[in-house]
Structure formats: structure tokens, C-alpha cells
Amino acid sequence: MEKRDPAWRVDPDRIRTDWETLATFVDPSRPGHTRRAFSPQDRAARRWVARRMEEAGLAVTVDAAGNVWGLRPGTRDGPKLVTGSHTDTVDGGGRFDGIAGVLAALEVARVLDEAGVRLRLPLAVVDFVAEEPSPFGLSCVGSRAVSGHLAVEHLSLRDDAGRTLGEAIAQLGGDPARLASARLGPDDVAAFVELHVEQGPYLERAGARVGVVTGIVGIDRYDVEILGERGHSGTLPMSDRHDAAVAAARLVLDLMAEAARHPGAVVCTAGRWQVAPGAYNVVPGEARVGVEWRALDPTVSDAMEEALALALRALEGQGYRAEARRVSREAPVPLSPAVQDILLAAARDLGHDAPRLASWAGHDTVQMAHVTERVGMLFVPSRGGLSHSPEEWSEIADVAEGARCLAQAIVRLDGSLA
């Protein structure tokens, strides 16, 4: 690789300056680095992103959903290569989640120009609206609109201040009355690649500076309700008890044991517990527990579901009434093997032996997978695997390395798709 290639022009200092500026648009009344979607700070940050896009020579538009797009024309019209992410944060969030992907995409647009590279396909840089759960109870608002999964009814959802989602989108410069015009299809998008911080510990542990994502895990959630028998905590002999809390604990441990049979392939969490009546001196008669598992391989999700069914049946055999209600099921999203190969080849061009890994968190890429089958993600390491926290940290040098791989991949994609 010679130094005149665009990837070699990626400038960590320029990325750092952008990152420092973007990090000033935060809500001072909230902890950490908070820039909730649709807040005044979010609006200001998005205007700043649009200005930086213009300074990079991109033609800026705001679509009907409020997404900010910066377009770099190709030598011919047609479907675009799209890259970007989001700049909103969770309450008490960090400075890298989503942001790294938008800043890397901006840097890619600049280095292509500086290297005098004319792509055949148009390139679009995007800053999606409200990827994190918004004050309207909905996440991935902007990318949902792009994929056609934001319904007109969603626009009348209200935040705590009584503002509707439609009004909030209009405040970003969107046009909710023309929501459908934000929708894109395979004729508009040739491929979508999102750079993101890993938010987990695998790359750091592997000593890798960049990784290629194989897919985004599916998420299954269940509410389990167990009815036992309430009794006096002193007088009821242990052998006579149907303690609903103990039964719930057994069921959860059965699920954890099943998860342990698929090391690295599933994560399982029982994070919501309610026990009634909830007193020191009463054997609990009722327990409710909310469980979630995430897996990329649907056969592993099926095995977890089977383990749940077995655990429920075992409790029934012991005299409990036990049932589970599915709260939600999000299917896993496998990412394009062809795009993965291009990302790996791009990383290899730059001397990186990038590991493949799953994404255990959701991303705008989930929505973009409805738009085009050619979707991919690049991860850069997160220190200690921490995210959604003020302690979230990635080295700017690693973000820059990711941006170099992204630039290289964009050039390769253009070559393979144009």
C-alpha cells in the first residue's frame, strides 16, 4: 500500500478535533456525556455535523425523518455506498457509541477527496436520528424511517413534555408529512457499512484494533410467572414448602446451565424480579422473573427456549403453576458474507488480522439490513468493554485505524459493485 492511497491520509488529529468539538454538545444538567435524541444539544450537534459535511465538500440534505445526509457524487448515478451511524447518546452516556462511526465516515469522505479518488458510485455519509431509546420510547427512529419501519402512527407518540414525535422530527428539519419519502430500497443503496465501537471486551482481549462483524444477535424476552404457596416463614417445615422465589431461582439456574452449554454463543440475563408478598417472615407465594437471551445462531435460541419449557414442566411436576409469556422476539441479523470478506481484505491490506465477531448489541445496521442485503460492520475496541457509561473509551488512534479500513473498504466495494 503506498502512502498516496486514501487510507493513508486518515488524520487522527483531525478526528480528535472533531471528536472534542462534538463532545461539547452535551446537556449540563445530566450526568456523563448526555445528548439525548431531539434535545436542544442534539439539534445543535446535528447542525454542526451538517456543517462539517459541507466543509468536507459533501452536498447536505435532511430527509423527512430528520436524518442528516452528505452526498459525494460518483462518476455515474445509481445506488449509493452509504456509511455512518448516530450521534445521540443514552442518558449518562459516553463519547464514542455511534459518534465514532459518523466521524470516521466524515474522515473517509475527506481523504477520498485529498487522494483525488473518484468513485464510480456515489458515497453518502449519514447521521441517523435517535438510534438510542428516545424520549418517545422508540429506538432507531431515523434508520426505521429509511427502512420503511417507522409507521405514521409512531409520529403521534408523545414525550413527557407532551411533544409528538412528528413535532420533534420537524424541529430537526424533517418533514413528517412526507415520512415515506425517507424510505430507501436496494435501488438507492448499493451497500451500507457502519463503523462502531465494540461495546464489549473481545477485541481488546484479542489485542486487535479492528474487527469484522458477522451478525447482530437476536433477542428473546420472556416474563415467567410462578405460583407456589404462601406460608409462615417459621412454622412451615421446609419439606412442606412451595416457595415461588426458590422455584424461580431454580428455573433461572436451569437457563444459565443451558447457556453454559453454548459457550460464546449465547448470553442470558434474568434482570427483572418481583416476589410477593415480599416480607422476611412470609414464604413467597408468587414470583415473576423477566428473562432475556441473545444469540446469533437460531438453533441456540431454540435450545434456550426448549430449556425454558423443560424448566417450566419440572416446576409443574413439583406442584407449582408456572408459565412463560413471550414479550418480544427479534430475529438475529446475519451480515453479508461478501461484505465481510471485503472488510477483511481491506483490513488485511492495512496489516490487520481482523477477527470476526458477533455484535451483542443492536445498531442502525439492523434496519439497514431491510434496505439492502449488502450490509457490514467494522468494530474498534472499547476499553474494558464498557459502554453506555461516562467511562466508555476508545483510543482515537483505533478509531482512525478503523476509518482507514473503512476508506479502503469503500474503495474495494466501489470496485466490486460498480
Positions that interact with Zn ion (CB under 5 A): 97-98
Contact yes or no for 252/275 (Cβ under 8 A):
no
| Closest residue to bound Zn ion by CB | 98
Question: Which residue lies nearer to Zn ion by CB, 97 or 220?
Answer: 97
C-alpha cell at 152: 405514521
Q: How far is CA 34 from the centre of its chain?
A: 17
Q: How far apart, in Å, are the Cα atoms of 204 and each of 43, 151, 161, 362?
A: 33, 39, 41, 20
CA 311 to CA 86: how far, in whole Å? Answer: 41
CB neighbours (10 Å) of residue 274? 15
Question: Which residue lies nearer to Zn ion by CB, 127 or 414?
Answer: 127
**Shortest distance, CB of residue 18 to Zn ion, whole angstroms?**
17
Largest interatomic CA distance in the chain = 84
Under DSSP, the state recorded for 91 is T
**Shortest distance, CB of residue 327 to Zn ion, whole angstroms?**
23
**Shortest distance, CB of residue 237 to Zn ion, whole angstroms?**
53
Name the residue with cell 439490513.
369
Under DSSP, the state recorded for 76 is S
CA 15 to CA 399: how far, in whole Å? Answer: 8
Question: Which residue lies nearer to Zn ion by CB, 86 or 154?
Answer: 86
Question: Which residue lies nearer to Zn ion by CB, 196 or 374?
Answer: 196
**Shortest distance, CB of residue 96 to Zn ion, whole angstroms?**
9
CA 148 to CA 151: how far, in whole Å? Answer: 8
Phi, psi of 274 (to 5 degrees): -140, 130
**Shortest distance, CB of residue 392 to Zn ion, whole angstroms?**
10
Question: Which residue lies nearer to Zn ion by CB, 198 or 414?
Answer: 198
Task: Classify burial at 245, counting beta carbons within 10 Å of its beta carbon; exposed 0-12, middle 13-18, buried 19 or more.
Answer: buried
Question: Which residue lies nearer to Zn ion by CB, 73 or 133?
Answer: 133
Question: Which residue lies nearer to Zn ion by CB, 127 or 243?
Answer: 127
**Shortest distance, CB of residue 201 to Zn ion, whole angstroms?**
17
C-alpha cell at 384: 474494558
**Shortest distance, CB of residue 42 to Zn ion, whole angstroms?**
14
